[in-house]
Amino acid sequence: MAETQEHKVIFDSNILPELKEIAHKVFSGKRISFEDGVTLYKHGSLGFVGSLADHVRKQKNGDYVFFNHNFHVEPTNVCVYSCSFCSYSRLIKNREQGWELSVDQILDIIKKYDDQPVTEVHITGGVVPKQDLAFYSELFKRIKQHRPSLHIKALTPVEFHYIFKKAKLTYEEGLKVFKDAGLDSLPGGGAEIFDKDIRDQIAGGKCTSEEWLELHEIWHKMGHHSNATMLYGHIETFEHRVDHMNRLRELQDRTNGFNAFIPLKFRNKENQMSHVPEVSIIEDLRNYAISRIYLDNFMHIKAYWAMIGRSTAQLALNFGADDLDGTIDDTTKIYSMAGSEEQNPKLTTQELVDLIKGVGRVAVERDTLYNIVKTH
Ligand code: V47
Ligand code: SF4
């Protein structure tokens, strides 16, 4: 099967020798280099990278496409930082334009799901002084007291770095406090793009790339899991994207603690980078495909439908993605405020299953750690 596909990809088309070489590597299960990654971005057509990515996707996940039952809680959209791509946050001086929830208010949201089969709550938002170590410790404990089986996937190195510094704790000490309070895993946010120059321009002041990676590494070495994202399609170059994935691939080689990689398309509505045009859907699909090929030690590539829209997410399943995230239930504002097609992101199980079956795959409900809950 692989040979037939390889033959078709390499010999039926008039492609560059470097691309043929990359195809040979991918079909024989060899890792591609940094330079190969850049070559794919610069010269790989959508059809070419798509064939390679589909091969890798099939090898890793067969016909399974994963989703979960989840909802988000965004404790605040007020933030001490002002990342220029962010449409969602409000500065502390304008805090009356935003929201800052108390632990009780968040518990009320959690309780709304008492009769629903959700397995995960995803908690992240802005960074404010009063949502500190004590705030999140109490929150995690009370969620677990109320519903012990609900998986808490919460906070990113951006929040951790700020909170632990304020509490005068090392990353290890802080993560242990949160783990003991009930934190189960980390979402992939705050990674943006690791290149220092670009990061300084779009996300200056918040945790550095090294700090982001170190925090995930410590968490993995404590025996736990997390995700990784990449914000793409703004002012970064193809080299920056490959550099970003390369740093993740190196960390994953050391820990194997990442569950999924989630490319996040820059959306330009009402932020300081509104003058930067958004990339095309073709570029989105090429990016999914190249990440699938490059990140050979990541099991899952997630097409986050709330950000990219359900149609493109469905297309991405043919370009390397094997996960669609979850039902969400209209509980995140990060992307709707940035101009996503999905203004009220919410899908029923049946709608997700239909999206997946629509491309001839098997829909698999998973928990956060990819244990199978139900095969549809
Ligand atoms: O770090 C913010 C991004 C991230 C914009 O781990 C934007 O399962 C595009 O990390 N255009 C937070 N992106 C969301 C996130 C996430 C989402 C879904 C699943 C998981 C997971 C993690 O959202 C931020 C930032 O990179 N973001 N504003 C924007 N205008
Ligand atoms: Fe704050 Fe996160 Fe928005 Fe940056 S992306 S301004 S850290 S909420």
Q: Which residue has the tokens 């990449």?
A: 230
Render 249-309 in DSSP notation, one character per residue.
HHHHHHH--EEEEEEEE---TTSTTTTSPPPPHHHHHHHHHHHHHH-TT-SEEB--HHHH-
Give 4's pLDDT tier (boundaries 50, 70, 90): low
Residue range 95-136, pLDDT digits in tens: 888 999 999 999 999 999 999 999 999 999 999 999 999 999
The answer to whether the beta carbons of residues 227 and 187 sit under 8 Å apart is yes
Q: Which residue has the higher pLDDT, 98 or 299?
A: 299
What pLDDT was estimated at residue 344? Answer: 78
Share of the chain above pLDDT 70, in %: 97
pLDDT, mean of residues 72-87: 95
pLDDT at 8 over 90: no
pLDDT digits (tens, 9 = 90+) for 273-295: 999 999 999 999 999 999 999 99
- Top CATH class of 64-375 equals alpha beta
pLDDT for residue 10 is more than 70: no
Q: What is the pLDDT of residue 2?
A: 53
pLDDT, averaged across the chain? 94
Give dist(CA 81, CA 158) in Å, integer.
Answer: 10
Question: Which residue out of 151, 186, 231, 304 has the highest number of ligand 1 atoms within 8 Å of its CB and is therefore the one to mutate?
Answer: 231
336 CB within 6 A, ligand 1: no
The closest ligand to the CA of 89 turns out to be: 2
Q: Which position has the higher pLDDT, 44 or 89? A: 44
Say if residue 333's pLDDT is above 90: no
pLDDT at 242: 98
* Domain ranges for the chain: 5-59, 64-375
CA atoms within 13 A on the CB side of 11: 6
- Closest listed residue to residue 225, CA positions, set 273, 261, 194: 261
Say which ligand is closest to the CA of 190.
1
| Separation of alpha carbons 117 and 325, rounded Å | 15
Residue nearest (by alpha carbon) to ligand 2 atom 8: 126
